[in-house]
A and B are shown apart, each in its own frame.
Chain A
Amino acid sequence: QLTQSPSSLSASVGDRVTITCRASQGLTSYLAWYQQKPGKAPKLLIYAASTLQSGVPSRFSGSGSGTDFTLTISSLQPEDFATYYCQQLNNYPLTFGGGTKVEI
């Protein structure tokens, strides 16, 4: 089970934003982060807990291992307002966190 926090947050352009994902059991580094905008498919941001997917801006970063993981947006941009999900890939059934909605 994955628990994301917060479930929502309000932030301004330029803010540093941190989203956490806690697993009920150790995942080593089998964790990914996705961004989803309304009406669109999710987009892969980070895989293996901290590896930036090709084409994703460097303001996004991931860290953590074991049970505690973090997604950080160093300087929030207007296009970053979206919902973010973590996903564990350590075992089946694969599971997603509940999501974090980042609002203005």
Chain B
Amino acid sequence: EVQLVESGGGLVQPGGSLRLSCAASGFTFSTYYMNWVRQAPGKGLEWVSYISSGGSTIYYADSVKGRFTISRDNAKSSLYLQMNSLRDDDTAVYYCARARSGSYSDFDYWGQGTLVIVSS
């Protein structure tokens, strides 16, 4: 069974940093492209970042470019999101999501999400 489990969320002050993790199981993690998607309270979905299976290709939303860094450790079947210079509007539930097939692909499996609150 495919499982994606996020962790690392919490309360952080504006300007602070946080590192999210996503532990994958039930599939060959190293062969899949992965993404982070977030959802602010009561709002819609916002794609955040993408990383190719080997980590060589990375994309970011303009709203996080220069502040967030996506990475992965295929040996540990884990995806990460390093978030620096956090702002109030980064407050959201953050989901990791697997791309079903290729780099321009929908997301067939999602984690349960981890809540990040940026507040003083």
Contacts and interface: CB of A to CB of B under 8 A. Distances in A.
In this complex, the interface size class of chain B, counting residues with CB under 8 Å from chain A, is 20 to 34
In this complex, the member of A34, A94, A95 whose beta carbon has the largest number of chain B beta carbons within 10 angstroms is A94
B106 interface: yes
A34 B35 CA distance: 16
Interface of A: 30, 32, 34, 36, 41-44, 47, 53, 85, 87, 89-99
Contact of B47 (A30, A43, A90, A93): A93
Contacts of B35: 94
Closest 7 pairs (CB-CB, A-B): A32-B106, A41-B110, A94-B47, A47-B106, A96-B45, A92-B59, A99-B44
14 contacts: A34-B45, A43-B110, A44-B108, A85-B45, A87-B47, A89-B106, A91-B104, A92-B50, A92-B59, A93-B59, A93-B62, A94-B47, A96-B47, A99-B44
A84 B79 CA distance: 26
Interface of B: 35, 37, 44-47, 50, 59-62, 95, 100, 104-108, 110-113
B106 A44 contact: yes
Nearest to B44: A99
Contacts of A47: 100, 105-106, 108
Given A41-B95, A41-B112, A41-B113, A89 B45 contact: no
